[in-house]
């Protein structure tokens, strides 16, 4: 059943029965229920809210009942189940779900990440467009470096019968073209791009039947004929990026990052945000001024030779400290201007991706190649600057800074006497590696005016045991992303295996043990919000193999209308084998 809006409800089933742990709103999608997609007893149910215009919506009771059905079928068959259902009016005038079909649900397996690069050669809106595509393929040689990509219009994908006809006819073209390929030449194949999640299930079923590949694209993203497109996939998650429109080598948009191999361009902090996006978390809009931008800035200020000497002409350990401090001083004092052409292109990208960026606060953050690593996080070593304005004329107080000044300040932050002292305490090889990693891409993010914020550690912060998940919350921005930790503090500790809450401690001058989390006003988090954070930490642990240290906040959504949960940082925790055994 296709509807305009739907509730997305995650229900967890354990020994004490089913329990709703999350609700979200998603635009234009199908109603469905999956058991097993997220593993460990998580079920997904989509329920309509458009029904409120006509009659009462489905109740939590109905959602829980559907989850029990999915769980029972999954247990009975030994295989995760997908249940498709409709909502209908009962004899007494109420509304209840009716099960239409049950199907086994195959959980895709992750594989080694690959990147597919192709060019859009046609957009199919009607069956007549296929004839034009056939003629175009005859005239045009297929590039050896690029896949052939075709965009399917929503009019095609919303009609299974029409979609089937299109796929059959293009499959015939594909097979005919393969007859004439040269020995050793890559087999000709069409890769499809199709809109949104509401047609994803139908396309996957038909594409599998005809042996074809396709990837859904986000509604509203523009793709045109001749655009070059990159698709990063690991068999489960994928990202489609329009390289023709995604920016330039000096600035890239995190949400449109084509692959995870660009860490040397964007730094580890930006790579951590991309991990969160890939697992479905809500991350503020962000642009990275890349390592190429950093080197262009060095060149603009005639510092390239100083930088080269810093990496290649190191003296003995006895003379290292004064040498580093002198080189650091030269770089720090010399970073006075940004390269004009590259800066203007970057500002234009920020304006395109941040609605109303000129009027809103941004935050400028370091994302150096040497920080946020498993073996050395260097937490707090480099600058994060909040209350940044893109429009210099909008600065109203000494607490605000222009984006240009903030970017330069972040770039200067590694080159201090204190950091030179720190490098001199390291073994020689490690010190050289840290120096090489001081290349400083800069992360420019939307600043969230948080009501509550905090951290998630996949360990006990005191005993270092990784069998526990510790969630800490503070009023306002707290200690997150340049904030100041004041006011109340809540600490919630989970058993990482069972998901059971072991303790809830609220501190506001005195320490208070809580039996339950009620409202944000009273206890900073609700029970559902705490469990939602725990699920995110466990998902990050499963998808990356690392024990996560994550930062989050609750603040206005993109429209500024309702509160929602945002994730603003991911980095791996440094743990020893002894910590893990605890």
Q: pLDDT tens digits, residue range 275-304?
A: 888 777 889 889 999 888 999 999 999 999
Q: What are the boundaries of each domain within the chain?
A: 2-104, 114-242, 291-446, 452-581
Domain spanning 291-446: CATH 1.10.8: no
Q: Select, from the ranges 16-25, 143-152, 237-246, 559-568, the one with the highest average predicted confidence (pLDDT).
A: 559-568
The residue that leads in pLDDT, 170 or 442, is 442
Q: What whole-number distance in Å separates Cα of residue 548 and Cα of residue 532? A: 15
Q: pLDDT at residue 97 above 50? A: yes
Residue 492 has pLDDT above 90, yes or no: yes
What pLDDT is attached to residue 101?
77
Query: Which of 113, 89, 432, 63 is closest to 262 using CA atoms?
Result: 113
Mean pLDDT (the chain, rounded): 77
Question: Looking at the predicted structure, is the pLDDT value of residue 92 above 60?
Answer: yes
Mean pLDDT of 308-320: 78
> Which is more confident, 232 or 568?
568
Please list, in sequence order, all residues whose beta carbon lies within 8 angstroms of the beta carbon of residue 105, skipping any fewer than 6 positions away. 34, 35, 36, 37, 79, 80, 81, 82
Please state, as a whole number, how many other Cβ atoms lie within 10 Å of the Cβ of residue 265.
21
- The pLDDT assigned to 372 comes to 61
- Return the number of other C-beta atoms located less than 10 Å from residue 317's C-beta: 11
Say if CB 234 and CB 109 are below 8 A apart: no
pLDDT at position 329 over 90: yes
Go through the chain and tell me how many residues it has: 582
Of 35-39, 101-105, 199-203, 322-326, minimum mean pLDDT range: 35-39
Q: Are 488 and 517 in contact (CB under 8 A)?
A: no
- pLDDT at residue 53 greater than cutoff 50: no
pLDDT value for 227: 80
Q: Lowest-confidence range among 302-316, 401-415, 479-493, 515-529?
A: 479-493
What's the pLDDT tens digit per position in 352-376? 777 665 667 899 998 888 876 655 6
- 569 forms bridges with which residues in the sheet? 551
**Nearest partner of 117 among 150, 143, 146, 142, judged by Cα:** 146
CATH number of 452-581: 3.30.470.20
Please write the tens of the pLDDT for every residue from 405-449.
Answer: 999 999 999 898 988 888 888 888 888 888 888 889 999 998 988
At CA 311, angle to CA 309 and CA 313, rounded to 5? 50
pTM listed for this prediction? 0.61
Q: Is the pLDDT of residue 546 over 80?
A: yes
C-alpha distances in Å from residue 540, one per residue of 15, 240, 276, 533, 535: 24, 21, 8, 11, 9
Kindly give the interhelix angle for 304-312 and 428-436, rounded to the nearest 10 degrees: 160
Q: What does the pLDDT read at residue 41?
A: 37
Q: Kindly report the CATH number that applies to the domain delimited by 114-242.
A: 3.50.30
Res 481 pLDDT > 50? yes
What's the pLDDT at 18?
75
In angstroms, rounded to a whole number, what is the distance separating the alpha carbons of residues 235 and 240?
13
Question: Is a pLDDT exceeding 70 seen at residue 22?
Answer: no
Q: Pick the closest to residue 485 from 521, 525, 526, 450 (CA basis).
A: 450
């Amino acid at each position: 059943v296709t509807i305009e809006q739907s509730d997305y409800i995650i229900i967890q089933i354990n020994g004490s029965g089913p329990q709703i742990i999350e609700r979200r709103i998603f635009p234009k999608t199908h109603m469905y229920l999956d058991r097993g997609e997220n593993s460990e007893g998580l079920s997904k149910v989509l329920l309509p809210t458009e029904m409120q215009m006509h009659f009462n919506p489905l109740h939590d009771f109905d959602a829980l009942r559907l989850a029990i059905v999915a769980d029972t079928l999954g247990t009975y068959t030994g295989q995760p189940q997908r249940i498709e259902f409709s909502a209908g009016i009962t004899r007494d005038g109420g509304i209840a779900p009716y099960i239409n079909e049950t199907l086994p649900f195959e959980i895709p397996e992750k594989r080694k990440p690959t990147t597919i690069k192709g060019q859009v050669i046609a957009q199919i809106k009607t069956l007549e467009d296929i004839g034009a595509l056939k003629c175009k393929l005859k005239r045009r040689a297929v590039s050896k470096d690029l896949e052939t990509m075709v965009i399917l219009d929503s009019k095609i994908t919303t009609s299974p019968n029409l979609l089937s006809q299109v796929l059959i006819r293009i499959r015939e073209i594909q097979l005919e073209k393969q007859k004439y390929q040269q020995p050793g030449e890559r087999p000709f194949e069409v890769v499809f791009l199709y809109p949104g999640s509401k047609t994803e299930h139908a396309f996957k079923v038909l594409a599998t039947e005809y042996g074809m590949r396709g990837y859904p694209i986000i509604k509203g993203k523009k793709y045109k004929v001749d655009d070059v497109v990159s698709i990063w996939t690991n068999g489960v998650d994928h990202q489609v990026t329009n390289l023709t429109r995604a920016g330039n080598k000096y600035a890239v948009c995190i949400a449109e990052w084509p692959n995870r191999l660009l860490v040397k361009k964007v730094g580890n902090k930006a790579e951590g945000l991309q991990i969160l996006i890939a697992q479905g978390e809500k991350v503020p809009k962000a642009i990275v001024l890349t390592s190429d931008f950093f080197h262009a800035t060095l060149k603009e200020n005639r510092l390239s030779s100083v930088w080269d000497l810093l990496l290649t002409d190191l003296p003995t350990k006895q003379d290292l400290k004064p040498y580093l401090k002198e080189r650091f001083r030269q770089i720090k004092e010399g970073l006075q201007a940004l390269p004009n052409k590259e800066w203007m292109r970057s500002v234009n990208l920020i304006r395109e991706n941040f609605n109303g960026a000129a009027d809103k606060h941004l935050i400028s953050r370091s994302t150096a190649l040497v920080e946020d690593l498993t073996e050395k996080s260097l937490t707090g070593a480099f600058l994060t600057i909040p209350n940044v304005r893109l429009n210099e004329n909008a600065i109203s107080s000494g607490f605000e800074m222009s984006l240009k000044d903030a970017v330069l300040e972040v770039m200067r932050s590694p080159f201090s006497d204190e950091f030179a002292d720190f490098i001199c305490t390291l073994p020689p090889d490690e010190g050289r590696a840290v120096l090489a990693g001081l290349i400083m891409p800069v992360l420019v993010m939307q600043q969230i005016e948080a009501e509550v914020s905090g951290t998630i550690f996949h360990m006990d912060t005191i005993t270092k045991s990784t069998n526990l998940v510790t969630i800490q919350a503070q009023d306002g921005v707290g200690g997150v992303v340049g904030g100041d930790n004041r006011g109340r503090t809540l600490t919630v500790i989970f058993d990482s295996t069972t998901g059971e809450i072991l303790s809830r401690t609220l501190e506001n001058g005195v320490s208070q043990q809580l039996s339950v989390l009620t409202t944000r006003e009273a206890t900073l988090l609700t029970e559902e919000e705490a469990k939602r954070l725990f699920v995110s930490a466990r998902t990050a642990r499963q998808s990356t193999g690392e024990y996560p240290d994550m930062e989050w906040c609750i603040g206005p959504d993109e429209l500024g209308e309702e509160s929602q949960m945002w994730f603003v940082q991911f980095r791996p925790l440094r743990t020893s084998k002894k910590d893990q055994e605890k």
